[in-house]
Amino acid sequence: MLSVNFVVFLLGIPTYTAIKMMKKDTNTNSNTSAIDVHGAQKKVSLFSCGTVVATPAVMAHFSENNIEIEPYLIQRHLQSDWGDVSPEDAIANDFAVENGLRILSAYVAANRRFWVITEADRSVTTFLFPEEY
C-alpha cells in the first residue's frame, strides 16, 4: 500500500511525490509504520536508494491499477534486476553500482513502461515515465 508522505516542488521540473511504503501488520490486519527501506538495504540491496519519489503520473497509474512500488524498488532495482534495458545498459548499470554513477532500470506495469533512476550520489530514486524525462 502506498501513502503520500510529502510533496517536493522543483522549479521548472515536474512535481515529485515522496513515497512512504507501508506494510500490513498481519496480527491486527492494519497498516503499520513505514518500511525502513534503508534498514532493508543492509540485508538485500547493492546500493542505497536515498529518498524515493515518483511523478504524479506514475503515482496515478500505480494507484489506478493497484500496483505497488515496493517490489520494483526492493525486489528488482536494488537487487540489480534492471528490467527491460539493453545488454549494454545492463553492463553500464553494473559498472555504475560499483563506481557511484547513475543507475536506470526500465519496467512495464499495466501496459506502461516506466523508469526507475537512482542518482549518482544515491540521494534520490525517481519513478517516472520515459516521456517525463
pLDDT at position 45: 81
- pLDDT at residue 18, as a whole number: 64
What pTM does this model have? 0.72
- For residue 17, the model assigns a pLDDT of 59
Provide block-wise average pLDDT over 10 residues at a time, the chain (133 residues).
34 50 41 37 72 95 95 93 97 97 98 98 96 94
Dihedrals phi, psi of 112, to nearest 5 degrees: -125, 130
Predicted pLDDT at 68: 93
Give the containing element (helix H, strand E) for 128.
strand 124-128
Residue spans of the domains in the chain: they are: 2-132
Using CA atoms of 77, 46, 94, 115 in order, give the dihedral in degrees to the nearest 10.
20
